[in-house]
Amino acid sequence: MGHHPPSFSSLIGPLRFQTYLDLVEGDEALAVELYDWNIRASGAFWELHTAFEVALRNKLDAQLKVWNERNGFTPEWTINPHPLIEAVVNPSNNPNLNKALRRASGVAAKHFKADRRQEEQPRHDDVLSQLTFGTWKYLIPASDKPSKRKKLWDEQLHMAFPRWSPLKQDAVKHLARRIAYAHELRNRIAHLEPLVQSNLRQTRRGILMLGYLMGRDAHEHCKEVDRTLELLDDYPLNQEFISWRSISH
């Protein structure tokens, strides 16, 4: 553990630091060590999640292209979406596609100004890169009940997970749940929230399992970049991780 000044609590915020103090019964030195560990763990899990998220996005994108073209539209489903895809990806209460198009247009405008080139409309890949992880999460149906998402899943999107088996009970629900846990972890890291009360081992297993279900290429890449196990084994407290849900609910 490195040396930290007495003002460490004010440096990171008393309320934030109190989260760590509560876990170690007021031991300030151990709380600082736990905080520093949390920074390293956040970085490691961000790397793993990035590998997983990019693979998930591209696997689902490939299947959406096939489905969109087969149903009379161009493969560029972000630019020319079938009404079913638009209904799922771009609902009126959360128009993800519209937001991504605006962001991609803004990026294209900056490039035009910087490069002094003729302005171009954003391409499919430009829009794709602007879609949030929540877009991919909500493409996976959370149950077997008939829905627009379930129709897309049954007809095409399940092919993004070639090792997935529909024969197991509640198979789609379990898949969606693993992705939801990964999404939750991603948001906690992005918002600089503590991970020490999250069930990180379970989430790690879920991400690696999702990589496996997407195929050998995704699984091998996720395993290649994964350095979270070493961090988990170095957890400063001699106890199993506590699910933050059991504390906050």
Mean pLDDT of 82-109: 86
pLDDT tens-digit readout, 121-154: 789 999 999 999 999 999 999 988 899 999 999 9
The reply to whether 248 falls in a domain is no
What percent of the chain lies above the pLDDT cut of 90? 61
The reply to whether 202 falls in a domain is yes
Look up tokens 């290649």; give the residue. 224
Give the pLDDT of residue 4: 55
Q: What are phi and psi of 142, to 5 degrees?
A: -85, -5
Give the pLDDT of residue 237: 83
Give the pLDDT of residue 104: 86
Assess whether pLDDT exceeds 70 at residue 80: yes
The reply to whether 122 falls in a domain is yes
Question: CA of 178: how far to CAs of 48, 49, 69, 187, 199, in Å?
Answer: 14, 12, 29, 14, 12
The reply to whether 26 falls in a domain is no
pLDDT tens-digit readout, 12-32: 999 999 989 998 888 898 999
pLDDT tens-digit readout, 27-61: 898 999 999 999 999 999 999 999 999 999 999 99
pLDDT tens-digit readout, 180-193: 999 999 999 999 99
Q: What is the average pLDDT score of the chain?
A: 87
The pair of three-digit structure tokens given for residue 117, joined into one six-digit string:
């080139």
Q: Which amino acid is at 244?
A: W
Q: How many domains does the chain have?
A: 1
Q: Where are the alpha helices (DSSP H) in the chain?
A: 8-12, 14-23, 28-70, 83-89, 96-115, 124-130, 133-139, 148-155, 171-190, 200-214, 216-225, 228-233, 244-248
Dist. CA 35–CA 33, nearest whole Å: 5
Assess whether pLDDT exceeds 80 at residue 72: yes
- What is the residue range of 203's domain? 44-236
Dist. CA 49–CA 29, nearest whole Å: 30
The reply to whether 230 falls in a domain is yes
Question: CA of 67: how far to CAs of 53, 147, 151, 152, 216, in Å?
Answer: 21, 17, 11, 8, 23
Q: Which amino acid is at 219?
A: H
Of residues 70 and 119, the one with the higher pLDDT is 70
Assess whether pLDDT exceeds 60 at residue 62: yes
The reply to whether 13 falls in a domain is no
Under the banding of pLDDT at 50, 70 and 90, the label for residue 111 is low
